[in-house]
Amino acid sequence: MHLIFNELSCYPTAINSQIAEKRFTKLLQTYKAAIEKYDFNHIRFPQNYSDLQITSSETFIEWINAISNSVFKNLILGIFKKPYMDDLRQRELSAFFESNYVIDDNMTPTSEPPIGLPIAFIKSIPAISIDSHSFWNNRKIYIQKTNGSNIEYIKFFSYNICQKNDINSIELNEWANNCMSKFIDSQDMLTNFLSFGKYTPFFTDKFMEQFYELKANHTKQYKYLLLLMKDVELHPFTGGMGKTENLQQRGKEASKQITQLDRLSYTLNNNIINFIACKGHYDFH
């Protein structure tokens, strides 16, 4: 899963190379927190990243070539790699280039039109910004879209992270609840999505097989299943969503109703929630 770089956060440019190094060090720290929390594995930069103005007198390529610390230089170069934000599918490119964009806030430190922020919105993933100005600490950045000569103004926002603590913010949790579900393709990502605090989740092979089948073929049930799974930590045996049932004859097993035919089955033992199945009705083992 990829973050989208907000190229406008290079503004205002750093007054010298040392300030630029501090900014990119913080960017790496924020990215590391994003990896640990949500399993992001890449930042999409623009293809012309080498031409980005980093200091008042240096482009990225000029600035990075002048850095003497080889470890730091390699860390930075390691995140500037393919795929780039420009590598969108044709349908996505068409949706992007049919419109003009401007940040809808007069406090922004630049009047340049955004590229990364609208792309982050189109792809339903957060942008990541350099901490060059207090404005880029906004966790939601509002953008105005106009369609060519058509006098139509549409306002939307992109989720944005700038500080490592943003990963645990209300806004990023909101993004995860609304958008992250479609990116879940591993047990680790599912664990990160659930974000359990009190219990540790485990998943049987049977459960994961049924989980992916629901994701691929039954979107509405899949999204409801994720809500039920989150509710398990709050209401494992009684109350909450899905007509929770404590299956006393099965020890510490309980279930929540997904549909009339299917239930989410799980056990809770020693602070471990083991998800057993999400299809069938009391036929879990």
Residues 220 and 172 in one domain: no
Residue 165 scores a pLDDT above 90: yes
Does the N-terminal peptide bond of residue 83 adopt cis geometry, omega within 30 degrees of 0? Answer: yes
Residues 148 and 35 in one domain: yes
Output 213 or 124, whichever has higher pLDDT. 213
Contact residues for 176 (Cβ-Cβ < 8 A; gap 6+): 38, 193, 195
Residue 145 scores a pLDDT above 70: yes
| Domain encompassing residue 273 | 184-277
Q: What is the pLDDT of residue 190?
A: 93
Residue 148 in domain:
yes
Residue 167 in domain:
yes
H-helix or E-strand containing 211? helix 205-217
Q: Into how many domains does the chain fold?
A: 2
Residue 22 in domain:
yes
Residues 174 and 236 in one domain: no
Average pLDDT, rounded, for the chain? 89
Number of alpha carbons in the 13 Å side-chain half-sphere of residue 12: 9
Band the pLDDT of 90: cuts 50, 70, 90.
low
Residue 160 scores a pLDDT above 70: yes
44-78: b or e for each residue (b if 16 or more CB lie within 10 Å)? bbbeebeebbbbeebbbeebbeebeeeeeeeebee
Residue 78 scores a pLDDT above 70: yes
Residues 119 and 172 in one domain: yes
Q: Which of 164, 179, 194 is the last residue of a domain?
A: 179
Residues 15 and 29 in one domain: yes
Burial label, 156 (beta-carbon count in 10 A; 0-12, 13-18, 19+): middle
CA distance from start to end of the chain = 34
Residues 31 and 105 in one domain: yes
Output 254 or 252, whichever has higher pLDDT. 254
Band the pLDDT of 136: cuts 50, 70, 90.
very high
Band the pLDDT of 94: cuts 50, 70, 90.
low
C-alpha span between 146 and 8 (Å, rounded): 19
Residues 168 and 259 in one domain: no
Q: Which of 179, 194, 229 is the last residue of a domain?
A: 179
Band the pLDDT of 285: cuts 50, 70, 90.
very low
Band the pLDDT of 82: cuts 50, 70, 90.
confident
Residues 165 and 196 in one domain: no
In one-letter notation, the amino acid at residue 17 is S
Residues 166 and 265 in one domain: no
Q: Regarding beta strands 253-257 and 263-269, do their DSSP bridges make them parallel or antiparallel, or are they unpaired? A: antiparallel
Output 24 or 85, whichever has higher pLDDT. 24
C-alpha span between 66 and 231 (Å, rounded): 52
In one-letter notation, the amino acid at residue 108 is T
Q: Comparing 150-154, 259-263, 277-281, which segment has the lowest mean pLDDT?
A: 150-154
Q: Which of 179, 200, 224 is the last residue of a domain?
A: 179
Q: What is the pLDDT of residue 107?
A: 92
C-alpha span between 19 and 23 (Å, rounded): 6
In one-letter notation, the amino acid at residue 16 is N
Residue 282 in domain:
no
Residues 87 and 174 in one domain: yes
Contact residues for 208 (Cβ-Cβ < 8 A; gap 6+): 187
CATH number reported for the structural domain that contains residue 199 in this entry: 3.30.2310.20
Residues 140 and 262 in one domain: no
Residues 118 and 248 in one domain: no
C-alpha span between 56 and 219 (Å, rounded): 49
209: its two tokens: 């097989």
Residue 285 in domain:
no
